[in-house]
Structure 1
Amino acid sequence: MDQQEYIDELIIKCLSGEAGVDESKELSRWMDADKEHLAYFLKMKNIWDISHPAFDIESIQPQYRLEQLLEKIKGRQRRNRLEIFVRTWQRIAAFIAVPLLLSTFYLGYLQKKESTNHVWQELNALYGTRTKAVLPDGSVVWMNGGSTLRYPLPFEGKKRDVELKGEGYFQIAPDKKRPFIVHTPRLDIEALGTEFNVYSYDSDSLTQVTLVTGSVCVSSKERRILMNPNERIVYNHRNKDYQLYLANPEKWCSWKQGELVFRNEPLQDIFKRLSQMYNISFQLDEMSKNLICHATFKDESLDRILHLLEKTMSIECQYLKNGSSDHTEKQYVKISCKKRN
């Protein structure tokens, strides 16, 4: 058995509650020797959590913190308490539902931020899925397909900073002394204790924030705007323009319950959203682009959505492949109006 296999065995023993006192001390010394070792352990622990889900994460009390687990691994508490704690962590599953677990997504890719000594955790939701996670301060975040969230372990200092690319719905744990700030590539959203949705895909020229409860401050290099509940901000990256609307949060936030709600929207906007969620390109002919759609889809696959649109919108959806610059074939869907007889 080589050194890496031996370390992996020690980690598994610890997470399963089977490690002895000497083995726990040995693993502790290994983690103290190099920060990369600690990051590797955290990655292994997250993989363990994914493979041992059990019940609703919201029933877990916030006092169970990752640093407590590390303290116990270092032998600062008796072995029987370590086993109880590890069994509790085994039951934590930071996902919205079992069907979403089956669809899989990346959780646990860890990296250090070069400018600090913090360990940063990165959560990735695969295209076509959504996921739910609890952050170190007890805040809850839902992530839509194709989204990435980064946050430090633990939150330190006077702010709780996270970084988002894609779409996320945030339910912030109140802390008047430490604002919660979501950083996107173009906007920052600051909150204390509130619920809001952030839409910020790299492939789109718009960043959108929808406020459900409480208040948030949205800021860029150009300006700062204080939002009230049931308001929605749309920021255009290209011309630096802000638009503030009254909004129905159900329409813009229902994706976290598995619903896609479209109300009198042109097909080109609908297929743009589907493209971001499922990572597939759509090519619409001129006649189909401006067809107006009014529909709600609940936990439907992409194939099912396209089938329903074909039945109700008099369009045809054809899967095709084309060559790319890296000499691989990539799939896209051609959308065209049905020809009248």
Structure 2
Amino acid sequence: MNDTIDIDVLMIKYWDGTAEIDEKEQLLTWLQQSDTHKQEFRSKHKIWLTQEAASISKSEIYTALKDTKQSILQSSVSSKIDSILPWLYRVAAVFILAFATSFFFLNYTSIGEKEVLVNKVIMPQGSKGVIGLPDGSKVWLNSGSSLSYKEDFLAENREVSLDGEAYFEVEKNKAKPFVVKTANVNVEVLGTKFDVQNYLDRDEVKVTLIEGSVKIASDRKDYILKPNEKYVLSKSNKAEKVEMANGMASRIWINQRISFEKKLLKDIIPYLESWYGVEFIYNSSFENNTHLTFTIREDTLNDILKSIEYISNIEFEIKENKVIIK
């Protein structure tokens, strides 16, 4: 296990889903030996994640892992990104940066009398990124969210557990339904695109369907969503409803930028809610004839609202995760 090539091989086999259980146990043991090993694992995982985005072969990725070990061990996260494979960075810089501050964990969890190896990805506040699951499905994690799944993900039903918000693009497999478990509801699909929002510190659970079909299983009843429908559950009073929604707006937060050109504020609000993870509160009679043109990249919500106030007669007030239009 002290041989560099051996550990790199284990990492590659783990990431592409070909590692046997004993190899995963070896990798877990190696990770638990030191924080340096965990740091090396996370840094090399960023390189591996660029494979699909940059169409790079596994042999090239292996060479990259091998050649950059010393810079990984001796550099900070920021200097690693600057020094690891400049040619690879140019091709997939955005993909790498999306994972610059994410955390990937491998751990054992007891389920009944059985110990199960569990993968967990945590996206800290201010970060967001995309994860590739063993079945080819993709998950975009929003800021302050986490996703976990068992090492035998493909054994029976494909199950993941979510805290926070994630956008899913699920590979179709009729024999193995895909299930997103949250603290309040479960979402079951065969293959589709949808967004789930369930932050522990917020009252509402929201599931918005963009494409395909999903089944929502709550404590009271099941709901079948159609594209551009949103399921909403209030945790405090257990009230449930299904309403029409802008499906594309619900997933806009996965992008690196968003632009508006001569749009009314009432049409922009759904995008701002998704981008910043907030809820706008305003009177149903709210109308605004001001057409807005602007682009959001890394701007804070406060900066955007101040800019809108400057060019209109609208005032905003922020209270926790709510924006009130006065």
Give the TM-score normalised by the residue count of structure 1.
Answer: 0.63
Give yes or no for the alignment of 1:248 onto 2:240.
Answer: no
Letter in 1 for 2:118: W
Give yes or no for the alignment of 1:14 onto 2:6.
Answer: yes
Query: Structure 1's 214 and 312: CA in aligned 2 closer, same or farther, altered over 3 A?
Result: same
Which residue of the partner structure matches residue 107 of structure 2?
A: 111
Letter in 2 for 1:136: P
Moved more, 123-132 or 225-234: 123-132
Give the TM-score normalised by the residue count of structure 2.
Answer: 0.66
Q: Output one character per residue of 1:243-286: Cα deviation in whole Å (capped at 9) or x when no partner.
A: 1112221221111124499952899x999878758xxxxxx9xx
Give yes or no for the alignment of 1:172 onto 2:164.
Answer: no
Aligned-residue sequence identity (percent) comes to: 24
1:208 Cα deviation (Å)? 0.6
Equivalent position to 1:98, from 71, 81, 94: 94
In 2, distance between residues paired with 1:266 and 1:254? 11
Letter in 2 for 1:112: Y
SS at match of 1:113: strand
Query: Structure 1's 103 and 143: CA in aligned 2 closer, same or farther, altered over 3 A?
Result: closer
1:59 Cα deviation (Å)? 4.7
In 1, distance between residues paired with 2:26 and 2:48? 28
Contact kept in structure 2, 1:195 and 1:214, CA below 8 Å:
yes
In 2, distance between residues paired with 1:58 and 1:212? 27
SS at match of 1:264: helix
In 2, distance between residues paired with 1:185 and 1:219? 12
In 2, distance between residues paired with 1:104 and 1:205? 30
Which residue of the partner structure matches residue 86 of structure 1?
A: 62
Give yes or no for the alignment of 1:49 onto 2:25.
Answer: no
Letter in 2 for 1:247: A
Q: Output one character per residue of 1:274-304: Cα deviation in whole Å (capped at 9) or x when no partner.
A: 8758xxxxxx9xxx97787886753232164
Contact kept in structure 1, 2:165 and 2:197, CA below 8 Å:
yes
1:47 Cα deviation (Å)? 3.2
SS at match of 2:126: coil
Query: Structure 1's 11 and 159: CA in aligned 2 closer, same or farther, altered over 3 A?
Result: farther
In 1, distance between residues paired with 2:159 and 2:250? 24
1:238 Cα deviation (Å)? 1.3
Contact kept in structure 2, 1:266 and 1:292, CA below 8 Å:
no
| 1:98-247 alignment runs, 5 A limit | 98=94, 101=97, 104-115=100-111, 116-247=114-245
Contact kept in structure 2, 1:134 and 1:140, CA below 8 Å:
yes
In 2, distance between residues paired with 1:136 and 1:219? 25
Contact kept in structure 2, 1:106 and 1:126, CA below 8 Å:
yes
Which residue of the partner structure matches residue 266 of structure 2?
A: 264
SS at match of 1:311: helix
**Structure of higher RCO (CA pairs closer than 8 Å, 6+ residues apart):** 1
Equivalent residue pairs, number: 275
Query: Structure 1's 113 and 337: CA in aligned 2 closer, same or farther, altered over 3 A?
Result: closer
Moved more, 161-170 or 294-303: 294-303
In 1, distance between residues paired with 2:153 and 2:99? 30
SS at match of 1:114: strand
Query: Structure 1's 252 and 336: CA in aligned 2 closer, same or farther, altered over 3 A?
Result: closer
In 2, distance between residues paired with 1:307 and 1:100? 31
1:202 Cα deviation (Å)? 1.3
In 1, distance between residues paired with 2:206 and 2:232? 5
In 2, distance between residues paired with 1:84 and 1:99? 17
Bigger Rg over Cα: 1
Contact kept in structure 2, 1:39 and 1:119, CA below 8 Å:
no
Letter in 2 for 1:104: A
1:88 Cα deviation (Å)? 8.3
Moved more, 296-305 or 256-265: 256-265
Letter in 1 for 2:173: D
Query: Structure 1's 58 and 84: CA in aligned 2 closer, same or farther, altered over 3 A?
Result: closer
In 1, distance between residues paired with 2:145 and 2:192? 21
Contact kept in structure 2, 1:147 and 1:164, CA below 8 Å:
yes
Which residue of the partner structure matches residue 310 of structure 2?
A: 311
Gaps of 5+ in 1: 1-6, 18-27, 65-82, 278-283, 320-331
